[in-house]
């Protein structure tokens, strides 16, 4: 998949995309259709008849696991954990981008006074938002002035004027670090904001990769081929060759404009009114013919943001636990409902006393977990981290509240609505060890089926229930615990509720 148009074609082929031809208003109506569609686990939507505009708007691209699988080139039946496992595997290496000389993203160029961001059908998402947000399914490309490291990060961009975009680079994010480096040199920071490209690049923009690593390189590794980039018109930043809309500009590190508020992924606003923040002064826009504007709703779970973070943040946590050389990690699942960061479930094959406790304390000490992770649940290897009914079973019958660890102080995020607005710097944490203690000599005695009788019954299944199809005839995968392999998601859905 090279660009958004290929995604649209493939998604349409798979019944994963619906064209909306009825007239729709960009002002609240479009976002509300998208949000209500997402709450029904609906398809990606391509709005072809947006009020006041001739070009289309795409939404709801990443809101289901099936479409994330499509983006990653994986089978549609993959579970989120299957995708994470593959993400962890493929991003062990990088394939750097390649430069090309001509590209579709240059089909149209606006410069200087011709720059007009209002030429694009930018939605107004929620009524209490501070305005229209040009950048939601966006990524911002910047370069470190000292090392030349190029970063790609998804940061919202508010439409403040025909050539002004408000930013919110949260402290410590890579664009924020780079802006500080430009400030030290008393120089403006060149930026490029991209809307609509290979959707994998949006996932990469939202991924929390280490500083000095290239998101383009990791995207190439996942694709198994380098990402094609071309130089921007007014600076030397790389732009994906087949991007739909490319906004070029500069951020003056000494200037601010009021930005926000915006309906955050926590489902709450993170403050009242607008806040002074750095902004992008746009000096050039290039775009494809009939550019496809891609947007996302954010707001309450589950949206693109939650699915994206569940995949990318969860994968990073998994990778960091492996990098800490903790043995026995079977699966990691950071539910989309917790935006892939506030809640983590980790399945471990315990090998020594205290192993599960180590996993819990390690998780909150990773780079990923140390920022925002509030609750960790550790389960034994017979339970898949994503198998929530079995996790709840472990919480009921293996977990002992006196074995939970409560940590009083850790780094928080200003977005966490469980803390008062004026005290969001520090969070507490909870580690719930829902495993059977390794050192117990007398472990609980599991109720198991007789394996021989089980086999015999399964062999007679067709005779007993002739109306059922063959695939339904294998209700349990057969390890005696009702434990289902994640490669059998369809069977697992039905079977896991029988416990």
288 binds ligand FMN per the rule CB under 6 A: no
Nearest residue to 301 (alpha-carbon basis) of 332, 275, 334: 334
Report if residue 206 touches ligand FMN, rule: CB under 6 A.
yes
Tell me which of ligand FMN, Mn ion, none is bound by residue 182, counting a contact when its beta carbon lies within the kind-specific cut-off of 5 to 8 angstroms: none
Q: Which among Mn ion, ligand FMN, none contacts residue 230 (Cβ within 5 to 8 A by kind)?
A: none
Provide the mask over 303-342, with x wherever binding to ligand FMN is found by CB under 6 A and - wherever it is not.
Answer: --x--x----------------------------------
Which of 35, 67, 143, 173 binds ligand FMN (CB under 6 A)? It is 173
Residue nearest to ligand FMN (CB): 153
CA-based torsion, 93, 98, 103, 109: positive or negative: positive
Query: How far, in Å, CA of 64 to CA of 310, rounded?
Result: 11
- How near is the Cβ of 202 to ligand FMN at its closest, in Å? 8
Q: Binding partner of residue 154 among Mn ion, ligand FMN, none, CB under 5 to 8 Å per kind?
A: ligand FMN
Counted residue by residue, the chain has a size of: 499
Element (H, E) at 7: helix 4-13
Closest to ligand FMN by CB, 304 vs 433, is 304
Please work out the total of residues on this chain that contact ligand FMN, with binding judged by CB under 6 A: 20
User: Closest CB to ligand FMN among 1 and 211?
Assistant: 211
305 interacts with, out of ligand FMN, Mn ion, none, CB within 5 to 8 A per kind: ligand FMN
Interface residue list for Mn ion (CB under 5 A) = 151, 174, 209
Question: Does position 156 bind ligand FMN by CB under 6 A?
Answer: yes
User: DSSP readout, 339-355?
Assistant: TTTSEEEEEE---STTH
Sequence-separated (6 or more) residues with CB below 8 Å from residue 29? none
Residue nearest Mn ion (C-beta atom) = 174
Position 151 contacts ligand FMN (CB under 6 A): yes
- Provide the token pair at 115: 């720059």
Q: Do 158 and 138 contact (CB within 8 A), yes or no?
A: no
Q: Which stretch binds ligand FMN (CB under 6 A): 116-124, 172-180, 395-403, 457-465?
A: 172-180
- The strand ranges marked E within 385-488 are 405-411, 426-433
Which are the contacts of 443, defined by CB distance < 8 A and separation ≥ 6? 436
Per CB under 6 A, 153 contacts ligand FMN: yes
Nearest to 84 by CA among 95, 94, 76, 72: 72
130 binds ligand FMN (CB under 6 A): no
Check if the beta carbon of residue 250 is closer than 8 Å to that of residue 167. no
Please state the separation of Cα 151 from the chain's center in Å: 17
Among 119, 208, 483, 496, binds ligand FMN (CB under 6 A): 208
Q: Is position 100 an interface residue for ligand FMN (rule: CB under 6 A)?
A: no
Least distance CB 280 / ligand FMN (angstroms): 13
CA angle 224, 230, 235 (to 5 degrees): 135
Q: Which of residues 376-415 bind ligand FMN (CB under 6 A)?
A: none
Give the residues across from 199 on adjacent strands.
Answer: none
Query: Which residues on adjacent β-strands are paired with residue 245?
Result: 195, 287
Three-state DSSP at 197 gives coil
Q: Is residue 78 part of the contact set for ligand FMN (CB under 6 A)?
A: no
**Residues that bind ligand FMN in the complex, under the rule CB under 6 A:** 136, 151, 153-156, 168-170, 173-175, 205-208, 296, 298, 305, 308
């Amino acid at each position: 998949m090279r660009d958004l148009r290929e995604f649209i074609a493939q998604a349409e082929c798979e019944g994963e995309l619906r064209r909306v031809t009825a007239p729709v208003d960009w002002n609240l109506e479009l976002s509300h259709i998208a949000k209500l569609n997402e709450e029904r686990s609906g398809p990606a939507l391509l709005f072809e008849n947006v009020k006041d505009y001739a070009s289309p708007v795409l939404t709801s691209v990443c809101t289901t696991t099936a479409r994330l699988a499509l983006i990653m080139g994986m089978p549609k039946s993959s579970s989120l954990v299957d995708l994470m496992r593959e993400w962890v595997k493929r991003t062990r290496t990088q394939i750097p981008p390649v430069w090309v000389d001509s590209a579709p993203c240059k089909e149209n160029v606006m410069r200087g006074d011709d720059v007009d961001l209002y030429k694009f059908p930018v939605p107004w998402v929620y009524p209490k938002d501070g305005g229209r947000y040009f950048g939601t399914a966006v990524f911002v490309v910047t370069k470190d002035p000292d090392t030349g490291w190029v970063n790609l990060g998804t940061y919202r961009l508010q439409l403040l004027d025909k050539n002004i975009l408000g930013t919110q680079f949260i402290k410590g994010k890579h664009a924020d670090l780079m802006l500080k480096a430009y400030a030290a040199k008393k120089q403006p920071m060149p930026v490029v904001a991209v809307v609509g490209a290979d959707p994998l690049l949006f996932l990469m923009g939202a991924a929390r990769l280490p500083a000095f690593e290239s998101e383009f390189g990791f995207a190439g590794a996942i694709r198994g081929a380098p990402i094609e980039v071309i130089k921007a018109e007014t600076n030397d930043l790389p732009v994906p060759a087949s991007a739909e809309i490319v906004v070029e500009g500069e951020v003056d590190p000494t200037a601010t404009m009021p930005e926000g508020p915006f309906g955050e992924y926590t489902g709450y606003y993170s403050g009242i009114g607008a806040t002074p923040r750095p902004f992008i002064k746009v000096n050039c826009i290039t775009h494809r013919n009939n550019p496809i504007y891609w947007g996302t709703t954010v707001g309450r779970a589950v949206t693109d943001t939650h699915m994206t973070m569940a995949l990318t943040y969860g994968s990073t946590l998994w990778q960091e636990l492996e990098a800490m050389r903790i043995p026995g990690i079977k699966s990691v699942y950071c539910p989309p409902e917790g935006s892939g960061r506030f809640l983590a479930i980790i399945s471990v094959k315990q090998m020594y006393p205290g192993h599960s406790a180590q996993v819990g304390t390690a998780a909150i000490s990773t780079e990923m977990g140390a920022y925002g992770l509030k609750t960790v649940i550790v389960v034994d290897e017979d339970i898949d981290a994503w198998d929530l009914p079995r996790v709840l079973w472990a919480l009921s019958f293996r977990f002992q509240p006196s074995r939970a660890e409560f940590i009083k102080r850790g780094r928080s995020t200003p977005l966490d609505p469980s803390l008062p607005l004026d005290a969001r710097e520090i969070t507490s944490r909870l580690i719930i060890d829902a495993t059977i203690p390794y050192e117990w000599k007398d472990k609980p005695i599991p109720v198991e089926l007789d394996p021989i009788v089980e086999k015999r019954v399964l062999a007679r299944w067709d005779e007993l229930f002739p109306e059922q199809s063959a695939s339904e005839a294998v209700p349990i995968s057969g390890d005696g615990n009702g434990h289902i392999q994640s490669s059998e998601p369809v069977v697992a859905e039905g079977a896991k509720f029988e416990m």
